[in-house]
Structure 1
């Protein structure tokens, strides 16, 4: 437990678990898992939602897109708001908003109300997500931070992979509305544990919000995310390309604006990128986010469309991957602390790539679902070894005063990677000469991405010192307090 957390416990006479690092980690991970699961769990419910709400495919797809769009666009801004208002406050507010929006989704009587509720859900997820990493960095001492971030990072992979399994089980048993209703008890539990166990760590300094940066980054990320998600639907017409170009131009303006504000609390401190480890690992987060989406979606479609499995049976067939990942991830985090995260990460890249390559070769019209079990287990082993060290290595040299900004950048890049992976997967599936050929083509993309990631990982690097604090981000030690 950090000094701040200990001080808070002694000061308030709170319960024994208040400020306990592992209790804090469990609470944050549960909230993080809930928001990431909602990115993939709803996909398998789309046919049932269309029938129940008499909605068209375009309308129901916005049930997925609206959530992702708001989440990706607001992560950087939410990270800075956490620095200003307190990470626990933003985490609790995001959890409450997400829970209320989940109830509204489950009660939706038409596609418009469902889409609106999903947008609010995305806002709640955006508020809470970047606070999780920042709170972990503030709560855990350096010696145990690698294991903690490894467990936290593994949640992303498990949530992404387990979505189809849990979604299929829920939709096939109690109906699609419970895909959302299940978040209500979980969200209430997270809220209760947040105020009971998570200390309110803040700094004594006043923070300022860069409103110009917020507007520029929000517009750039919204436009780019929309173009990537909707490009295939609109056949990549000139309007989509114009939107993408305009978004990139706004992104360039945002970076120029940030360069001028490096001594005045920027949204993105450029000091983060002086460490090659943070830069490379953040880029790998985007690539691996794209690879995970690019693997799960085609495999799920293959099981249902080519082998004729129901939603629940397809979900169960995919279950070996998240189960193995869940078992491996804690050990991968510990191993990263002992032998170095890069070695564990490289092993994960090779394992996932090998498993996915085997799945491509075995995904034939005469295949049986069980023939994919071994490749899926290899993919799960790879996910557990990839995701766990990523956050550990990315945050290894990041000082606590930059943890909020680093979390915002990490999560934004991962989210954009997932969006780009989904867009590329859809385009490749449509480009195949037959549906099966399209699925094979789409599954080959993650293999290529992982090969590139492995190449970047083994490139020799020069050692960099840990970050010196930037003028706008001075060290904050004695001024921390825990409520």
Structure 2
């Protein structure tokens, strides 16, 4: 069945298996976006005496920082130990246990500890999964595969808050958390039975890379710069996305709309992103990654600047749709380009750099956005982030490269049978 679906979608069975598993995991994990702020507000905080809003901000940022710090460790484990399937299974098990533990939490410190454990768990799932996809796809199909993977994950991410809200409304917190844990365990079962183990890490071998047409030993300097630019871009992207939720109340006050109206606008963003990621991924296989990523950030800048002066709910919905399309231009092509340039025995290290940038953006975005909004209202954060997005486009155009050489995963793929 997986092989038939993979042929229809022009990818490999491993990609389909991981995509379905991440969709289930994302559904279980993303319902916490709705649940945890409500849960923190409903639980006493005896050891940390801070306002409720600050406690929620601390929890969100702590998750992002722990996730970012764990990404590099997960990448090293993936490269040095191998057995990426078992790293993914370990991460899913930790995530499910932490989610099931929330109903037992007696205060904020326990909630914070469980959420931090989830940060470690997400890193153990994300980096090995991306490394497996990069290692089992060819250069001319990697963008399509990562686009499919991202779209399936976004489907789960979109459904999770809705499922969590309904369960909380009708049955309470415990039912929502336990259902989330069940979906994560379903992902664990899918990975266990459908993803082959890639075995132990291979012995390290001398690398040959291409830098401006010349073969050189080791990883090329231009490739290193490209990875740094991609990491910075993902930080900017994640910070911009997290800014939207942070400033939801200010949007609703300016536009005189309800939380439901903002939810509709945000759903427009995710729906556009789901549809666009596969199309953009396939396009990057034909036109190249660098061009699409640069275009995405060049468009994201004006969109963020326009959001600073949005006046109606309809304008917000339209801008959110454009936001979703531009983020699709930056996610799958960035991951595919990192996979193209990655050394064959350091795929985890190189992919973890990109995901670490995204995780840092999730941590920094709410803090910086909240500070700027407190100082000068809704407009300033979007002006600052819009300018930084334009900077990312310039850096991508000037310093990144699409080239890859004999050492990298790009030209050939080791496909598990």
Counterpart Cα distance in 2 of 1:404 and 1:174: 41
- CA distance 1:308–1:23, change in 2 (3 Å): farther
Identify the match of residue 405 of structure 1 among 327, 344, 349.
349
Residue aligning to 2:99: 102
Identify the match of residue 64 of structure 2 among 58, 61, 68.
68
Q: Choose between structure 1 and 2 for higher RCO, CA contacts under 8 A separated by at least 6 residues.
A: 2
Residue aligning to 2:340: 396
- CA distance 1:28–1:82, change in 2 (3 Å): same
1:172-224 Cα distance to aligned partner (Å, 9 max, x none): 565555553342232122111112111100246479xxxxxxxxxxxxxxxxx
- CA distance 1:295–1:18, change in 2 (3 Å): closer
Q: CA deviation at 1:412?
A: 1.3
Work out whether 1:338 is the aligned partner of 2:286. yes
Q: CA deviation at 1:388?
A: 2.0
1:336-373 Cα distance to aligned partner (Å, 9 max, x none): 1111223322332244334333332224xxx4x23322
Q: CA deviation at 1:95?
A: 0.5
Counterpart Cα distance in 2 of 1:101 and 1:178: 15
- CA distance 1:410–1:38, change in 2 (3 Å): farther
Counterpart Cα distance in 2 of 1:50 and 1:460: 44
**What is the aligned-residue RMSD (CA, Å)?**
3.7
Contact in 2 for aligned 1:41/1:166 (Cα 8 Å): yes
Contact in 2 for aligned 1:157/1:387 (Cα 8 Å): no
TM-score normalised according to structure 2 size: 0.79
Q: CA deviation at 1:113?
A: 2.8
Q: CA deviation at 1:152?
A: 3.5
Identify the match of residue 15 of structure 2 among 16, 25, 28.
25
Counterpart Cα distance in 1 of 2:73 and 2:255: 44
Counterpart Cα distance in 2 of 1:349 and 1:141: 26
Q: CA deviation at 1:147?
A: 1.3
SS state at 2:199 partner: coil
Residue aligning to 2:214: none
Counterpart Cα distance in 1 of 2:381 and 2:352: 29
Q: CA deviation at 1:451?
A: 0.7
Identify the match of residue 445 of structure 1 among 381, 384, 398.
384
Contact in 1 for aligned 2:243/2:365 (Cα 8 Å): yes
SS state at 1:319 partner: helix
Work out whether 1:323 is the aligned partner of 2:271. yes
Aligned length in residues: 392
Residue aligning to 1:294: 243
Counterpart Cα distance in 2 of 1:383 and 1:336: 14
Identify the match of residue 141 of structure 2 among 124, 136, 144.
144
**Which stretch shows the higher mean deviation, 74-83 or 94-103?**
74-83
Residue aligning to 1:77: 73
Contact in 1 for aligned 2:127/2:348 (Cα 8 Å): yes
Contact in 1 for aligned 2:65/2:359 (Cα 8 Å): no
Q: CA deviation at 1:401?
A: 1.7
1:79-478 matches, within 5 Å, as 79-83=75-79, 84-153=81-150, 175-177=172-174, 180-203=177-200, 205=202, 271=219, 274-275=222-223, 276-298=225-247, 300-307=248-255, 309-363=257-311, 367=312, 369-432=313-376, 438-459=377-398, 466=405, 468=407
Structure 2, unaligned runs of 5 or more: 46-50, 205-216
